[in-house]
Chains A and B, each alone.
Chain A
Amino acid sequence: MGIGSKERMDALIFHNVNMVRSEMRISMDTGIFFIYLAVMAGVTYLLRTLPFVLCRNQVENTFLRSFLTYIPYAVLGAMTFPAVFSSTDSLETALAGTFAALCLAFFEKGLLTVAAGACLVAFLLQFIERIAAGGVF
């Protein structure tokens, strides 16, 4: 089993369970849906807004300021690796796409170029794999 196979299995099981559910046509009560929605959106909104509204002054403390400067990059690093390796159909296509993204980003191409390049390389390799396996669909 490849990298990220656990997440994929979970996603697959989740997907299949839900396929069965929708076939059984269990639809959610509209009232309950709105309560779920309010709880979900409310918690998310408060998390996003409270620190933003409450923190009005520049942070003077060097440690805290440095911490806040590093946070975005640390978050993105942790979110990208190793999740990117299981972001496509197979490890090979994901690795190829990641490699393309790293090369493009190294030469400081724009966000869109890097994202599109990664997709294109992953897609082409996947396309070739499908053809080699005997058929695209």
Chain B
Amino acid sequence: MKEMIQGIRDGIPIALGYLSVSFTFGLMAVESGLTWWQAVLVSVANVTSAGQFAGLEIMSAGGTMIEMALTQLVINMRYALMSLSLSQKVDQTVSTGHRLLIGFEVTDEIFAVAMSREKKVSRIYMYGLMICPFLGWTSGTALGAVLGNVLPEFIRASLGIAIYGMFIAIILPKAKEDARYLKVILIAIFLSCCFAWIPFLQAVSSGFAVIICAVAAAGVGAYFFPVEADAEG
């Protein structure tokens, strides 16, 4: 029970961050020609930001199913890496059946929070962690779809930074405490800036760019600063 409550508590800031992003998604989905329940259904079935926005674009442009599958594959490939990482973090209570359920909601934020726990995580903690973000993501979509145009733009604009604030809250304390993490994070940021600012690299989709940056930075880190088994954070 304690783990469940801890999980729920850890999930609340994620849920709040999701509200603003999914609100925008709901709004754009309706503007693209989806009904409000279709928008909500997309959020319920996917629970992913970048993938849904890209999917919406393909739907409204009448793209092919192959295009849809490939786009999702590239943008969401990072989840495969995260799931692999997470498989090392969960304890023995997480059997195959539970993996099939928990795997459904491996998002960047849920993954990051689970990984930042000191010890291994149980399935009870994972379910607790998943509840609020799921509700936040789906209800935010519904709200955005139904009353998106009511909220003034200047309020919505400042909500967009919430999710990044959360990311900073996860990576900065780790970087401060351990120089190896700091180096890995700085390499990732440097590469990410290259993809954002160097003209010919800008052609790479943002989902794919994140994979390249993260794999390269973590690879360099693993090669030059290996982590011992029991010292793992």
Contact = CB atoms under 8 A, between A and B. Distances in A.
Give the contact-size bracket for chain A: 35 or more
Contacts of A116: 16, 162, 165
A41 B99 CA distance: 17
A33 B33 CA distance: 11
B35 interface: yes
Indicate the member of A14, A40, A130 with the most B CB atoms within 10 Å: A40
A125 B38 CA distance: 36
Indicate the member of A82, A104, A137 with the most B CB atoms within 10 Å: A82
B80 A50 contact: yes
A101 B217 contact: no
A45 B185 CA distance: 28
Q: Which secondary structure characterizes the binding site on chain A? A: helix
Interface residues of B, number: 113
B154 A127 contact: yes
Interface in A79-137: 79-84, 87-89, 93-94, 97-98, 100-102, 104-106, 108-119, 122-123, 126-127, 130, 136-137
Interface in A1-48: 3-4, 6-7, 14-15, 18-19, 21-22, 25-28, 33, 35-37, 39-41, 43-45, 47-48
A77 B217 contact: yes
Q: Which secondary structure characterizes the binding site on chain B? A: helix
B162 A49 contact: no
A75 B164 contact: no
Contacts of B186: 77
A71 B158 contact: no
Indicate the member of A27, A49, A50, A78 with the most B CB atoms within 10 Å: A78
A87 to B, nearest CB: 4
A129 to B, nearest CB: 9
Interface string B105-121: 01010011101100000
A51 B80 contact: yes
A87 B160 contact: yes
B159 interface: yes
A21 B32 contact: yes
A92 to B, nearest CB: 12
Contacts of A127: 154
A68 B162 CA distance: 26
Indicate the member of A35, A69, A104, A123 with the most B CB atoms within 10 Å: A69
Interface in B164-192: 164-176, 181, 184-189, 191-192
B204 interface: no
